[in-house]
């Protein structure tokens, strides 16, 4: 049994550069957190207090009516619950398919040699250069021709896989040892079996990172659901939030309360998967084993 010798810590002078870096980071942290703190704080205040200058960061009490209004909605229909579920379903479906399809495609592009492999990869990458607004109208036309308005199909189909996901998974799998795959083939495993039982479990950090990024982008997606979901029952949370901004009047308190409620799933997702997410930063690092 070996013992580990613990080195006594030596006190070191913190350099001015380090202090400066920490100060910059602290500034960036405050800058990032202010809107979030404002959202939480304002969600607990009556609208009258939200508009008061200077802004009182600590609410005088908990104005629960904001949350009641947020859940009940302008018309008291409680459609919030359905819209919340829609967001969960749409984000969940898109995340699942993006991860699986991106992993399969990324694996194919990283580990299989075939004619035109680089062209296929570049063609997929080229789609990242096209802004969504440019394809929005033709996409809407296709969706309406297939009568996909007000359906989960319409909400999810355009996003089932994305180029960034393919790129990310390919980059992650490039350094994966070929010898390991060959050994598994010699043992008699089929290609799908290799992918499912060997490759996928080794991609956990990349999958977690891609999941968070995809889920978040769908959770926040406003433009496509705005076009395709015209039924109140099929709307998603971003559409529900903007309804509190009526033409002549904005209910800031209720709007902030909905924003708080809408943030909860993202916060849970981020904090439960953050350790993988951090590891995911190594996705683009070479890690030849």
Partner 1 sequence: MMKKALLVSLLIMSLALPLFASGAQEATGPVTITFWTHEDPNRTALEDRYIAEFQAANPDVTIERVTNSSKKMPELLLTAFAANEGPHIFNTQIEDGYAYIANGRVAPVNLGAAGFKSVKDLKASYVDGVLDAVSEDNNVYGLPLELTNWAPYLNKQIFRDAGLDPEKDYPKTWEDMVAVSQKIVSREGEIITRRGFDFRYPYYLVSMVPMVEQLGGKLVSDDGKTAIVGDEAWLKFLQFMADWGPNGLNLGSPTYKNGRKLFNSNNNDMGMAMSGLYQAGRIRADNPDFYNSGDWMVIPFPQFEDAVEDVASAYYGHFYMVNSQKADREQKVAWEFITYMLSHSEEYLTEVGLIQPTKALMSSETFANIPYADVFAADMAKGNIVYYAENSAKIQELIKEAVEGVMLSGIAPEKALASLKVKAQEVLDQE
Contacts to partner 1 by CB under 8 A? 47-48, 51-53, 74-75, 136-137, 140-141, 144, 146-154, 157, 222-223, 226-227, 230-232, 239, 242-243, 245-250
Q: Which residues contact 189 (CB under 8 A, 6 or more apart)?
A: 197, 198
Helix (H, G, I), strand (E, B) or coil at 245: strand
Q: Which long-range contacts (CB under 8 A, 24 or more apart) does 88-91 make?
A: 88/265, 89/152, 90/152, 90/155, 90/156, 90/218, 90/225, 90/236, 91/214, 91/215, 91/218, 91/219
Tokens of 242: 């903007």
Burial 104-136 (b: 16+ CB within 10 A, else e): bbbbbbbbeeeeeeeeebeebeeeeeeeeeeee
Q: Return the number of the residue (144 or 281) whose C-beta is nearest partner 1.
A: 144
Alpha carbons 176 and 14: distance in angstroms, whole number: 40
Q: Shortest Cβ distance from residue 175 to partner 1 (Å)? A: 26
Alpha carbons 106 and 111: distance in angstroms, whole number: 8
Q: Return the number of the residue (196 or 276) whose C-beta is nearest partner 1.
A: 196
Q: Shortest Cβ distance from residue 164 to partner 1 (Å)? A: 22
Q: Return the number of the residue (185 or 233) whose C-beta is nearest partner 1.
A: 233
Alpha carbons 151 and 235: distance in angstroms, whole number: 10
Q: Shortest Cβ distance from residue 247 to partner 1 (Å)? A: 4
Q: Shortest Cβ distance from residue 44 to partner 1 (Å)? A: 17
Q: Shortest Cβ distance from residue 5 to partner 1 (Å)? A: 58
Q: Return the number of the residue (150 or 279) whose C-beta is nearest partner 1.
A: 150
Q: Shortest Cβ distance from residue 239 to partner 1 (Å)? A: 7
Q: Return the number of the residue (26 or 141) whose C-beta is nearest partner 1.
A: 141
CB 283 within 8 A of CB 171: yes
Q: Return the number of the residue (42 or 273) whose C-beta is nearest partner 1.
A: 42
């Amino acid at each position: 049994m070996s013992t580990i010798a613990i080195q006594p810590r030596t006190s070191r002078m913190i350099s001015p550069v380090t202090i400066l870096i920490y100060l910059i980071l602290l500034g960036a942290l405050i800058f990032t957190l202010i809107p979030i703190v404002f959202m939480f704080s304002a969600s607990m205040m009556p609208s009258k207090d939200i508009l008061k200058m200077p802004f009182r960061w600590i609410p005088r009490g908990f104005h629960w009516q904001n949350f009641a209004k947020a859940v009940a909605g302008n018309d008291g229909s409680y459609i919030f619950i359905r819209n919340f579920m829609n967001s969960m379903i749409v984000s969940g479906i898109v995340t699942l398919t993006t991860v699986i399809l991106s992993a399969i495609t990324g694996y194919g592009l990283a580990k299989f040699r075939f004619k035109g492999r680089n062209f296929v990869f570049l063609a997929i990458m080229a789609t990242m250069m096209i802004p969504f607004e440019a394809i929005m109208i033709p996409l809407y036309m296709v969706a309406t021709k297939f009568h996909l308005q007000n359906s989960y199909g319409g909400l999810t189909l355009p996003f089932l896989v994305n180029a960034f996901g393919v790129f990310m998974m390919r980059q992650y799998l490039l350094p994966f040892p070929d010898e390991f795959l060959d050994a598994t083939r010699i043992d008699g495993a089929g290609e799908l079996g290799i992918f499912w039982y060997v490759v996928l479990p080794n991609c956990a950090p990349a999958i977690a990172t891609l999941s968070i990024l995809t889920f978040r982008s769908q959770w926040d997606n406003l433009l496509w659901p705005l076009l395709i979901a015209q039924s109140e029952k099929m709307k998603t949370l971003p559409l529900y939030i903007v309804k509190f901004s009526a033409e002549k009047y904005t209910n800031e308190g209720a709007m902030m309360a909905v924003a708080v409620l809408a943030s909860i799933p993202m916060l849970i997702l981020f904090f439960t998967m953050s350790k993988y997410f951090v590891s995911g930063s190594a996705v683009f690092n070479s890690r030849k084993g």
